[in-house]
Amino acid sequence: MASILGLLETRETAARERVEDLREAAARAAAVLETAEIELDRRVIAREELVEALAVSAAEATVVTEAETESLPASVSSR
């Protein structure tokens, strides 16, 4: 018959192994999370830069259109 102390030591060893397995899984999950966060940051920056570039392009197009309208003869622009 196994001693109570022996049973407790066996359970403790199993618990230690489980904790170590969970620590390793948590470390892997943290690495995956970090990679995903970096990708998210890159995509947010790309979207923000695109929005900024489109805004600049739209502003430039508006300036060109307004300049063209102002340079039209009065008879054409009053139609």
The amino acid present at 28, given as its one-letter code, is R
Tell me if 77 is assigned to some domain.
no
DSSP conformation class of 78 = T
* Model pLDDT, residue 69: 74
**pLDDT tens digits for 24-64?**
999 999 999 999 999 999 999 999 999 999 999 998 888 77
* 13 occurs within a structural domain: yes
pLDDT of residue 19: 98
> How many structural domains is the chain composed of?
1
Kindly give, in sequence order, each residue whose CB lies less than 8 Å from that of residue 69, ignoring residues fewer than 6 positions away: 77
CA distance 9 to 18: 14
SS3 1: coil
* Residue 64 within any structural domain of the chain: yes
At residue 15, what is the residue type? A
The answer as to whether 76 is a domain residue is: no
Q: Which domain holds residue 32?
A: 4-70
Instruction: Say what the pTM is.
Output: 0.62
